[in-house]
Amino acid sequence: MAQPARHAAMLSISNSGPNLPVAAAAADRQQPAQHIHTQSQSSQGLRVPSNRKTIYDRHLNRSRNAELSRASFAFLFAEMVTYAQRRVTGIQDLERRLNEQGYPLGLRLLDLLFYRTMSSSTSSALSSSSSTSSSPPNRPLRILPLLHLIHGPLWRLLFNRPADALEHSVSPETPNEYMITDNDPLVNTYISVPKEMSMLNCAAFVAGIIEGVCDGCGFEAKVTAHNQPTEMWPGRTIFLLRFGESVMEREKVLERAGVK
């Protein structure tokens, strides 16, 4: 209610609208924020879908248990790889582009993931499948909870199963390196890489998602995907997470402060 009135008042400021003194005063008060309002005015010609339902009318849990057809995902992903392959200079460049495609997705999934865990914990009586935790989930503050978040809930959200392994680098020179293993990444199921590009791993896209999640949580990181086939799992992929200097410093401070 207040919103249309304010817009009307702002429009009528110039011709001194006679009957809206209160609303005009409210608009005056808004002065610091006016740059935002004036811009939103131009969006008054907002186009609403024919069923009058905007994205704000749709429930975020509606598609929670819905599954995407694997064929359509494979097709879409193949197109994404083809798209990324245009005008690239090499394999690294291609992987970088796939990574960049995944990154914004990671930022979004993070918010969605928390929203869904939150709403399932408050209405756990309604849906039987939800977890039993009673308090809303905590934001990860240390590296380990973050990795567990990626390894468990994020992987389940994306692929309906947890990742296969989570390891810390054994080398003392690289304490900032962690590895998440997926024995058979879904994204690579229908990708056969030509021999001359054998270094390529299209799961760089998933690495981008992980990077987005880490960055979103405030853990600056570089994530790359590497092939590491075994006899049993020819498509085994390792996601290598390299956390930045600032993250490791903060980790030490938080450890001393006893933050979990």
Partner 1 sequence: MSYYFTILSPTDVPLFNIAFGTSKSGGDGIARFRFPDTAQYMNQFIIHSSLDIVEEAQWMNGNMYLKHIDTYPPASAYISAFLTPSGARFLLLHQPPQLASNSGQGAGGSGSMGGSMSGSLLLGSAGGSSRASASSIANNPTSPQTEEAVRQFMTEVYENYVKTVMSPFYRQGMEIKSPVFRGRVTAAGRKWL
Residues of this chain that interact with partner 1 (CB under 8 A) are: 1-3, 22, 25-26, 28-33, 36, 39-40, 43-44, 46, 54-56, 58, 60, 104, 107-108, 110-115, 118-119, 136, 138-141, 216-218, 250, 254, 257, 259
Q: Give the H/E segment covering residue 225.
A: strand 221-227
- H helices of 44-200, in order, are 70-85, 91-122, 143-149, 155-159
Listed residue (3, 16, 4, 10) closest to 28, CA to CA: 10
Gap between the Cα atoms of 153 and 110, Å rounded: 10
The β-bridge partners of 208 are none
Quote the Cα angle for 126-127-132, to 5°.
Answer: 95
Compute the least distance from the CB of residue 163 to partner 1, in Å: 19
Nearer to partner 1 by Cβ, of 193 and 254: the residue is 254
Nearer to partner 1 by Cβ, of 16 and 89: the residue is 16
Nearer to partner 1 by Cβ, of 3 and 16: the residue is 3
Nearer to partner 1 by Cβ, of 26 and 193: the residue is 26
Compute the least distance from the CB of residue 138 to partner 1, in Å: 3
Nearer to partner 1 by Cβ, of 109 and 207: the residue is 109
Compute the least distance from the CB of residue 239 to partner 1, in Å: 20
Gap between the Cα atoms of 27 and 33, Å rounded: 10
Tokens of 64: 């929670």
Q: Is residue 60 within 8 Å of residue 111, measured between CB atoms?
A: no
The DSSP 8-state label assigned to residue 68 in this structure reads -
Return all residues near 32 (Cβ < 8 A) that are at least 6 apart: none
Gap between the Cα atoms of 204 and 101, Å rounded: 9
Compute the least distance from the CB of residue 98 to partner 1, in Å: 18
Compute the least distance from the CB of residue 103 to partner 1, in Å: 10
Nearer to partner 1 by Cβ, of 219 and 238: the residue is 219
Compute the least distance from the CB of residue 172 to partner 1, in Å: 26
